[in-house]
């Protein structure tokens, strides 16, 4: 394998975080196989450690990987929502992509939709509300023929929980 491929390759550490480390390529990344998940939302927070705790309590997400900065605050994390991963990153002035927490922007331009079985949606909404999520749209029958609700977390990120299965 070339050094360039090795440098760019995905590498999995013992905790499951993907890191590029020269010379330690994960062959699954280089085999040409399409991975099961191909979209990884990256959600910015001013206080990512507090966000991770909230997302776990309110929505049942599970920490997959956490990388702390020198000051102890989370720089990057991966949380598991069902079978998929969502990236959580620290919001910083001068972000090269201009991405910031909704607290900095005064709103957000996106939302993330997560599948929840219809039979669990009422309990899920109740848990989110009890944890402090702001319910933006209560459980309702959506145009797609499914039930869903929408809420905002403590930093204003918008989350929709729906029984929509992508069909």
Q: What is the pLDDT along the chain (167 residues), one digit of tens a residue?
A: 333 332 333 333 333 454 444 444 455 556 678 888 999 999 999 999 999 999 999 999 999 999 999 999 999 999 999 999 999 999 999 999 999 999 999 999 999 999 999 999 999 999 999 999 999 999 999 998 999 999 999 999 999 999 999 87
To the question of pTM greater than 0.85 for the whole model, the response is: no
Whether residue 11 sits in one domain with residue 41: no
Whether residue 66 sits in one domain with residue 21: no
Please state the domain count of the chain. Answer: 2
Q: Which residue segment(s) compose the domain that 17 sits in?
A: 1-30
Whether residue 137 sits in one domain with residue 101: yes
3-state secondary structure of 77: strand
Whether residue 83 sits in one domain with residue 147: yes
Whether residue 101 sits in one domain with residue 47: yes
131 contacts 105 by C-beta, under 8 angstroms? no
* Residue 4, domain member (yes or no): yes
Whether residue 10 sits in one domain with residue 83: no
Whether residue 151 sits in one domain with residue 112: yes
**How many whole angstroms separate alpha carbon 133 and alpha carbon 124?**
11
Whether residue 19 sits in one domain with residue 51: no
């Amino acid at each position: 394998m070339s050094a360039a491929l090795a440098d760019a390759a995905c590498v999995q550490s013992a905790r499951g975080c993907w890191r590029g480390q020269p010379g330690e390529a994960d062959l699954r990344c280089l085999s040409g196989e399409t991975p099961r998940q191909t979209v990884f939302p990256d959600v910015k927070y001013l206080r990512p450690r507090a966000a991770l705790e909230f997302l776990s309590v309110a929505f049942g997400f599970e920490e997959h990987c956490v990388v702390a900065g020198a000051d102890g605050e989370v720089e990057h994390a991966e949380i598991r929502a069902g079978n998929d991963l969502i990236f959580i990153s620290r919001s910083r002035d001068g972000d090269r992509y201009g991405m910031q927490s909704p607290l900095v922007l005064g709103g957000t331009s996106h939302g993330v939709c997560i599948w929840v079985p219809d039979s669990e949606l009422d309990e899920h909404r109740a848990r989110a509300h009890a944890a402090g999520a702001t319910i933006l749209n209560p459980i309702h029958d959506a145009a797609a023929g499914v039930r869903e609700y929408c809420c905002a977390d403590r930093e204003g990120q918008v989350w929709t929980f729906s029984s929509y299965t992508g069909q």
